[in-house]
Amino acid sequence: MENRWLFSRSIDLLVLFLPVSVTWVVCFALPAPVLERALPLWVWAVFIVGIDVSHVWSTLFRTYLDREEFASHRTVLIRTPCLTFCLFFLLAGFSTLWFWRVMAYLALFHFVRQQYGFFALYSARSVFRTPHRLFADVKVIYLATLYPVAYWHLTAERSFNWFVSGDFFLLAHTFLGSGLEALPLLPLVGNSLYWAIIAGWCIEEVLLCRKHQTPLRVGKILWLLSTAGTWYLGIVHFNSDLVFSLTNVIAHGVPYIALVFFYVQKKSGIKGSSSPLSRFQVGANVAFMLIVILFLAFGEEYLWDLFLYQERGALFESIFSYPIRVLQSPMAQALALALLSVPQVTHYVLDGFIWKMNEKNPYLRQVFA
């Protein structure tokens, strides 16, 4: 039977697509002076800490906190954080800029791959395969993410960074003199081709579903459109740190947290370890997971600010006063950078192992069958 949705119709629409759509509406509704301001502290706390950092910690429920999963991935789960700390300590000791540069490109790779991963899961729910289509799935989903990234690299000035100023290589001055701004026709052509290909894929998808006499794969289409819309609006259309942060974080973090919880709950049902849960029990499990990851995310960001910045004392010191001053020693700073990068980099690496449908992950096919 054809399944057009990843989780269910209501969950997909409510969790995967509604938050993204609301974000777009908000971004278009905000006046220009608001979009040009620095990221407000409350926005940083709610969206960066509450969603972006929290989703990193949600990986615990898929790995370290599950005995069976830990046994299946024991080697990579133990070695990854240890190797991450050692390598990033050496990198931070060599150059702080290169530390953040490597982090930025790892994060970018991770974000791009997640969009592809969800797209692949939607494809796996289909009863027919389309290996020889004009607009190939893989190429289109990568176009949706990588064209805006290329635009970013070839534009002289953007009002946002991934982590810190200079973390991405900006190629505008190297290849185009003053960047794409000096060649207004080039981005116009590129943007037009971008949306033409996205539209072409959608049309072909509709025709293929009609050909195979199956229901329209709405979830898959919406995932591509939400990906293209988020990356294009956040990077190309707007030039705002606020817009980039909101679109980037919500479209990435919310689906991942939902994916982890869905997997954990479905796996429990497949193993027959419990009878079907009531709505109250499901709600309690969701609340518990959210409390845990929010607590860990807050603790991590507290340590980042305590050791390296102390710029957000208005938030953190209202709860816990800083007992020390910012670290001044380069060696101590490198140590802190390496240690605090472990959760994030470990999350990036583990994602390449725990969501592959192979013998190491025997429940994945059953969960997303």
The pLDDT tens digits of the residues spanning 250-260 come to: 999 999 999 99
- Mean pLDDT (whole number) for 204-215: 89
The pLDDT tens digits of the residues spanning 31-76 come to: 999 999 989 999 999 999 999 999 999 999 999 999 999 999 999 9
Q: What CA–CA distances, in Å, run from 256 to 208, 237, 263?
A: 29, 25, 11
The pLDDT tens digits of the residues spanning 323-354 come to: 999 999 999 999 999 999 999 999 999 999 99
Q: Each residue of 326-343: b (16+ CB within 10 Å) or e?
A: ebeeeeebbbbbbbbbbb
Residue 202 has pLDDT above 60, yes or no: yes
Q: Record the pTM.
A: 0.93
Q: What is the pLDDT of residue 12?
A: 96
Q: What CA–CA distances, in Å, run from 72 to 101, 104, 307, 369?
A: 32, 29, 35, 21
Domain locations along the chain: 9-367
* φ, ψ (nearest 5 deg) of residue 8: -165, 165
State how far the Cα of 84 lies from the Cα of 76, in Å rounded to an integer: 11
Handedness of CA 121, 123, 127, 130 (dihedral sign): negative
Q: Which two tokens stand for residue 219?
A: 């979830």
Task: Say which amino acid occupies 23.
Answer: T
The pLDDT tens digits of the residues spanning 109-157 come to: 999 999 999 999 998 877 666 667 888 899 999 999 999 999 999 887 7
